Structure 1
Amino acid sequence: MARRGEDLGGEFVRSAWVVLAIWALYGAVHLALLPLLGWDVPGPDEWTRLLQVRAWMDGQSWWDVTQYRMNPPAGFSMHWSRLVDLPLALAIAVLGEDWGMAVVPLVWLLPVMFALRSIMLRLGFSRVAYGFGLILLPLFPLLPGSYAPLSIDHHVPQAVLGVICAALLLSPRVWAAVAAGFFAAAWVVISLEGLVLVAVLAGLYALRYLVEEQRLLPWFLLSLTVSAAFLSLATRPNAELFGPFCDILRPGHIATFGIATLVAGIVPFLPFQQNAAGRLAGLALIPLASVPLALVVLGPCAVNPMAQLDPALAAWWHGYIAEGLPFWEQPVSVAAMLIWTLVPIIGGYWLAGRGGGFSDGAGMPWLLLFLFTLAAWAYSLLLLRAGLIAQLLTIPFAAVMLALLLPRTRAIPSAAPRALATLCCFMLATPTFASALGKPLDPLFPTPTMARGAAAPMAEEPCDYAQLDRLEPGLLLVTMDAAPEILGKTGHTVIAASYHRNQQPMVDIIAAYTGTDQDARAIIDTYRPDYVIACQSAVDFALYRTATPENFANTLADGKVPAWLTPVAGFDNGVLRVYRTR
């Protein structure tokens, strides 16, 4: 592989200006297409993020992320972090709501591109490999939509922070380890799902000490501990930190980080640290001290934050959220995409070694990136949304594959074999083709996420929930997926939405639609909603219809309205039906 400093043109290609130009072009194309594609907010999580920012900008406390228009007056407790709200609120304040939501995902893309640039410079990429690394993002299926306008959920910032940590990991500098600890802390404060890969980061800093005697691990852990404590206290009320929930970073986590920091700081001063066996024995003390502490102080929260999920939610809700499921519960095309991502990771690493990429001190950075990417890939097999960071980290490996293999294909004299070989290079380097080839197999091996609502007839026309704003504001009994959009477009309130802390209202919504008319009436008597909503094209409404032939969802779908409901004029037929309770 060619090295840095090849020529002046190569230096320009690697400059920050080229990164900015490619990012600006990518953003300009997306924003230009937005009026054609529409301004529809992608899903419930994006709507709820917007509702959270609206409430804060309207005066709700920074410390309070409760959604008070869900299950009023108590509201819905949320575990989301204000850290994600900050850039969105700023963009909305400057550009207005629509353009603020359009721009923020593209803003998140910029640090990703600079982190990839840093990785490629650290590894000494050739000009060609570097160029590929800047333009390959659209060929990784999970990435384009994640950075598209209006995609404002918190999974994108998590991936951004993960890639930044990867770039900092490759540096031998103390300041980089301290910065990595800060960004890792922000990562786990936003979502505890990041804890797995943050632990891998700590393990890789330990590897640097084991192999190279670089004492970066204590600095990383110290920064992680202090930053996690600061960011938690700065963004969450104390009552929540010590509350019953397992889905946020708790004092027990921070105490565990602290013990790991203390032991890691002592290890270099222990006997026998001059040899690898002694260093390995010293490093082993860190998990021996910290893991038992975590099990004691965190209890069930140390194992599974979702362990207390109600069986009804597991059966009718959580088991249908594709982004939270492992690869064996995904459609064939998605599973193939996840698995195939391993090919460019291994292929790029192997080719980089053969091409001389491990010389000039780049061997350890390459190994660190390879192991971290491999861990992210393995995590993505268990949790689909972790595939976002896995695919971002795979880009440098894919770039190396293309830079080293494509020149060989161009040397093939015959046009047809040359074109086929070129296509095969891209098939090897990205998971897009594996996903496309698996698509025809999806109907042959249906999964629960694919079959959601398929057993019950559904209308094709989407429900226009903005029409509900014509009604006098009231409390709605409505399926959970539609609830955030209704709150975003109308002045109504709802009983529940799909956020796991608030299990009882969620269970009651499911029980109302999947149970008998009498079950629904009992729940209505408990919550006293003003309206009952039935969207014929909503996939969760269709799913509830599959429970039993005579359940409440089927009663509404078939137009057999109970006597205690009155059809609302203008909503008594068609895809969106509304009933007033008596």
Structure 2
Amino acid sequence: MNDKQHGDASLTQQLDRNWLSLTLIAWAVIAAWFVWQRWPAIHWLSLGDTDDNMRLMQVRALLNGQAWYDLRQYRLNPPVGFDMHWSRIVDLPIAGLILAFRPFVGTALAERLACGIAPLLPLSVAMAGLAFTVRRLVSPFAWPLALIFLLMCAATMLMFMPLRIDHHGWQLACLSLTVAGLADPLQRRGGITVGLASAVSLSIGLEMLPYAAGAGAILGLRWIWDRAEAERLTVYGLALAGGSAIGYVLFVSAANAALRCDALTPVWLSVMIEAGALLFILARVNPASRSVRLGLAAGAGAAIIIAFALVFPQCLGRPEQVSPELAANWLNNVREAKPIYAHPWRGALTVAALPIIGVIGALIATWRARRSDRFAAWAAVLLFTLLAGGLLLWQVRAGAAAQLLAVPGAVALGWVLLPWCLAHRSVLVRVFGTVAGFLLVSGAFIGLVIRFAVPDKPSTNTKAVNRAGASCPTIPSLGVLNRLPPQTIFTFIDLGPRLITLTHHSAVAGPYHRNGAAILDVQHGFKRSADEFHAIARRHGATLLLTCPNMAESTVYTVRAKNGFYARLVRGETPAWLEPVPLPKRSPLKLWRIH
């Protein structure tokens, strides 16, 4: 063996033997880069999403002595507040980082550092899960390609960026472990991984419920096809039921002890325990006949559905259980809850390109593995990838998960195409073919297509909305309100969480379905007459009115209620009981005192 061959062998051995430590080193480098790149946003605590602001408020309340099982937010709709449907799981790493940094840098900087670093922690889990999956299904040396492809998943990576402290990153990490468990050749380890990952994800929130159900169904299909998969199904059932029960006892709020449909309440806990117990029983019985196994599995599925419909009929509709008026005026209009075909083609194509490539790659890989011991695992990954892609036709918010689950299939496709290009006789194919192949299988070509397509010029109104959305919810803009004594401020629904995060004031409402009555009060106040606004504001104890002209939400009130209170206020028709409160000259906000 010459020196070059020896070096190549040594490199492949290192990639195979030290894949996990190398993955974590890569994660550390990537995390450091993102923190450095986004440091200005971290410095200004630019929590861009309402959920990120509410997460920080939940952590602050915990560190300030609010009870572990009390997740009520008292500074929205004071004095009673409202119960968040989240759990404490995602609060823990943020709170831990704040406590670790606070003695050295003070509370303010500790919060900024925690919000910058915490979202990157689940990225390490997601990277490890995908690396494991690709090693098992494609090649022991293909995992670096999986990490590269993951970094190019725009929708997925947004959930791991600094300041994105909401729970979606941790749920995507659980999803990565789920697909790793489906691909694991060791039945006991694979079943436990899928069961516990599903249980943790459901304990965080119900967003990934379709994926948890899909993973369980896929494991059931594997057992129906091959009764030798009984051990995997047995431990999965135990892990799902036991993990869900532990998650409920340790992390779920006291308010979620009610029979609600929007979180891991006794409703969904009973479903998980029932499903886990039935799967455990089926796997232990394990009849020899495939048709009998199919019949038993179908009967178990029917029993779960019938029991759910009979015992919890209130949960057969949408889980938020909001009023028809709130659904029509707010929830049905949430952009991320609309199907992908209802979005502009540029955004839709950016989200859907990699999932389509991932499905094609998984199809080819499954066909190529049809006579190998990897067939069952590839078939499971293919079904999971198809499920994720199909959910895009339901809600575009499935895009982050669909892109993540597309990575194994895309890597499998690249592992066939790229070596062929690199080994080709023609230098043109080796150079340009390899580049083109990489752009194709990674989905990066979509960025070039959009860049050179007909430019999408935003309208003047869109530019004004974007400027308002960027300038109003900032520390310089909102921080001046701290000069006033703490009080309740009547403001836009989407500005409420940011207001209570950056100031000592309270707000009437935030965009959360359990805060539905207050949301309707804000909408009614802005859309109806000045007298009705005055009565609603007084009922909530609001003494100040804060607006952000041209903020996206404001356009709803000016366009849909042209004779309402807010539209008239914009036109300069100010009631006598509103007194302007001076703000700095360049402030994008407007403030009035309510008499």
Deviations 1:402-439 (A, max 9, x none): 22212333456777776654454244323443366357
Instruction: Verify the 8 A CA contact 1:566 1:580 in the aligned structure 2.
Output: yes
Deviations 1:542-567 (A, max 9, x none): 33211133322223323332111000
Indicate the residue corresponding to 1:447 in structure 2: none
Indicate the residue corresponding to 1:3 in structure 2: none
Q: Counterparts of 1:250-261 in structure 2 under 5 Å?
A: 250-261=265-276
Q: Mark the runs of 5 or more structure 2 residues left unpaired by the alignment.
A: 1-7, 102-109
Alpha-carbon distance, 1:62 to partner: 0.5
Alpha-carbon distance, 1:313 to partner: 3.0
Q: Counterparts of 1:95-114 in structure 2 under 5 Å?
A: 95=101, 96-114=110-128
Distance 1:69 1:336, change over 3 A: same
Q: Which moved further from structure 2: 546-555 or 524-533?
A: 546-555
Corresponding letter in the other structure for 1:154: H
Indicate the residue corresponding to 2:288 in structure 1: 274
Q: Which moved further from structure 2: 169-178 or 11-20?
A: 169-178
1:140 aligns with 2:156: no
Indicate the residue corresponding to 2:107 in structure 1: none
Alpha-carbon distance, 1:236 to partner: 2.7
Tell me, in whole angstroms, the C-alpha distance in 1 between the residues paired with 2:316 and 2:236: 22
Q: Counterparts of 1:321-470 in structure 2 under 5 Å?
A: 321-353=334-366, 360-410=372-422, 421-434=433-446, 437=449, 454=462, 460=468, 462-463=471-472, 464-470=477-483
The one of 15, 30, 35 equivalent to 1:31 is 35
Tell me, in whole angstroms, the C-alpha distance in 2 between the residues paired with 1:170 and 1:524: 56
Indicate the residue corresponding to 2:194 in structure 1: 180
Tell me, in whole angstroms, the C-alpha distance in 1 between the residues paired with 2:236 and 2:312: 22
1:566 aligns with 2:584: no
Distance 1:285 1:435, change over 3 A: farther
Alpha-carbon distance, 1:320 to partner: 3.7
Tell me, in whole angstroms, the C-alpha distance in 2 between the residues paired with 1:315 and 1:565: 31
Instruction: Verify the 8 A CA contact 2:134 2:411 in the aligned structure 1.
Output: no
TM-score, normalised by the number of residues in structure 2: 0.88
Distance 1:173 1:459, change over 3 A: closer
Alpha-carbon distance, 1:358 to partner: 5.6
Instruction: Verify the 8 A CA contact 1:94 1:100 in the aligned structure 2.
Output: no
Distance 1:452 1:533, change over 3 A: farther
Distance 1:289 1:47, change over 3 A: same
Instruction: Verify the 8 A CA contact 2:73 2:84 in the aligned structure 1.
Output: yes
Distance 1:513 1:432, change over 3 A: farther
Instruction: Verify the 8 A CA contact 2:252 2:264 in the aligned structure 1.
Output: no
Instruction: Verify the 8 A CA contact 1:534 1:557 in the aligned structure 2.
Output: no
Tell me, in whole angstroms, the C-alpha distance in 2 between the residues paired with 1:296 and 1:572: 61
1:492 aligns with 2:505: yes
Indicate the residue corresponding to 2:56 in structure 1: 50
Instruction: Verify the 8 A CA contact 2:42 2:163 in the aligned structure 1.
Output: no
Indicate the residue corresponding to 1:7 in structure 2: 9
Instruction: Verify the 8 A CA contact 2:181 2:189 in the aligned structure 1.
Output: no
Tell me, in whole angstroms, the C-alpha distance in 1 between the residues paired with 2:355 and 2:21: 32
1:477 aligns with 2:504: no
Aligned to 1:502, the other structure's residue is in SS state: helix
Alpha-carbon distance, 1:233 to partner: 2.1
Tell me, in whole angstroms, the C-alpha distance in 2 between the residues paired with 1:185 and 1:457: 40
Distance 1:419 1:502, change over 3 A: same
Aligned to 1:111, the other structure's residue is in SS state: helix
Q: Which moved further from structure 2: 381-390 or 451-460?
A: 451-460
Tell me, in whole angstroms, the C-alpha distance in 2 between the residues paired with 1:395 and 1:199: 21
Instruction: Verify the 8 A CA contact 1:31 1:102 in the aligned structure 2.
Output: yes
Tell me, in whole angstroms, the C-alpha distance in 2 between the residues paired with 1:539 and 1:174: 51
1:167 aligns with 2:183: no
Tell me, in whole angstroms, the C-alpha distance in 1 between the residues paired with 2:328 and 2:130: 40
Alpha-carbon distance, 1:373 to partner: 1.7
Instruction: Verify the 8 A CA contact 2:42 2:113 in the aligned structure 1.
Output: no
TM-score, normalised by the number of residues in structure 1: 0.90
Alpha-carbon distance, 1:459 to partner: 5.8
Instruction: Verify the 8 A CA contact 2:261 2:267 in the aligned structure 1.
Output: no
Aligned to 1:570, the other structure's residue is in SS state: coil
Indicate the residue corresponding to 2:594 in structure 1: 581
1:120 aligns with 2:134: yes
Q: Which moved further from structure 2: 569-578 or 205-214?
A: 569-578
Deviations 1:230-289 (A, max 9, x none): 21122234553224x321123232333333334333435669x22322221222121122
Instruction: Verify the 8 A CA contact 1:124 1:362 in the aligned structure 2.
Output: no
Indicate the residue corresponding to 1:265 in structure 2: 280
Tell me, in whole angstroms, the C-alpha distance in 2 between the residues paired with 1:416 and 1:313: 59
Alpha-carbon distance, 1:336 to partner: 1.8
Indicate the residue corresponding to 2:99 in structure 1: 93
Corresponding letter in the other structure for 1:198: A
Tell me, in whole angstroms, the C-alpha distance in 1 between the residues paired with 2:586 and 2:528: 23
Q: Mark the runs of 5 or more structure 1 residues left unpaired by the alignment.
A: 1-5, 445-449
RMSD: 2.8
Alpha-carbon distance, 1:324 to partner: 2.2
Aligned to 2:489, the other structure's residue is in SS state: strand
Instruction: Verify the 8 A CA contact 2:71 2:253 in the aligned structure 1.
Output: no
Alpha-carbon distance, 1:492 to partner: 0.3
Alpha-carbon distance, 1:112 to partner: 0.8
Alpha-carbon distance, 1:365 to partner: 1.1
Distance 1:46 1:269, change over 3 A: closer
Indicate the residue corresponding to 1:68 in structure 2: 74
Indicate the residue corresponding to 1:225 in structure 2: 241
Instruction: Verify the 8 A CA contact 2:42 2:116 in the aligned structure 1.
Output: no
Deviations 1:41-97 (A, max 9, x none): 222111110000000000000100111011111012210110111111111111221
Q: Which moved further from structure 2: 485-494 or 14-23?
A: 14-23
Corresponding letter in the other structure for 2:398: A
Tell me, in whole angstroms, the C-alpha distance in 2 between the residues paired with 1:79 and 1:23: 31
Instruction: Verify the 8 A CA contact 2:69 2:254 in the aligned structure 1.
Output: no
Instruction: Verify the 8 A CA contact 1:571 1:578 in the aligned structure 2.
Output: no
Tell me, in whole angstroms, the C-alpha distance in 1 between the residues paired with 2:297 and 2:309: 20
Aligned length: 567
Distance 1:342 1:237, change over 3 A: closer
1:527 aligns with 2:540: yes
Instruction: Verify the 8 A CA contact 2:50 2:498 in the aligned structure 1.
Output: yes
Instruction: Verify the 8 A CA contact 1:70 1:76 in the aligned structure 2.
Output: yes
Corresponding letter in the other structure for 1:393: L
Tell me, in whole angstroms, the C-alpha distance in 2 between the residues paired with 1:544 and 1:420: 53
The one of 149, 164, 188 equivalent to 1:151 is 164
Deviations 1:283-331 (A, max 9, x none): 212112211011112212144203x323443344323422222112222
Instruction: Verify the 8 A CA contact 1:241 1:251 in the aligned structure 2.
Output: yes
The one of 297, 304, 314 equivalent to 2:311 is 297
Tell me, in whole angstroms, the C-alpha distance in 2 between the residues paired with 1:459 and 1:205: 49
Corresponding letter in the other structure for 1:33: Q
- Structure having the higher helix fraction is 2
Tell me, in whole angstroms, the C-alpha distance in 2 between the residues paired with 1:332 and 1:125: 35
Q: Which moved further from structure 2: 366-375 or 571-580?
A: 571-580
Corresponding letter in the other structure for 1:549: K
Aligned to 2:579, the other structure's residue is in SS state: strand
Indicate the residue corresponding to 1:191 in structure 2: 205
